Amino acid sequence: MKTLDARWAAYKAIHREKGQAEAQRYYREEVWPLVREAWREHPRVPEEMPSFAASIHTLGRSPEATILAILGTRAARAGGAKHP
pLDDT for position 69: 79
CB 2 within 8 A of CB 17: no
Q: Does residue 28 surpass a pLDDT of 80?
A: yes
Q: Would you place residue 84 in the very low, low, confident or very high pLDDT band (cuts 50, 70, 90)?
A: low
CB 7 within 8 A of CB 35: no
Summarised one tens digit per residue, pLDDT across range 1-23 is 579 899 999 999 999 999 999 99
pLDDT for position 21: 96
Side chain identity at residue 38, one-letter code: A
Give the residue from 57, 54, 52, 84 showing the smallest Cα distance to 69.
57
- Could you tell me the pTM of the whole model? 0.67
Give the residue from 77, 61, 69, 57 showing the smallest Cα distance to 28.
61
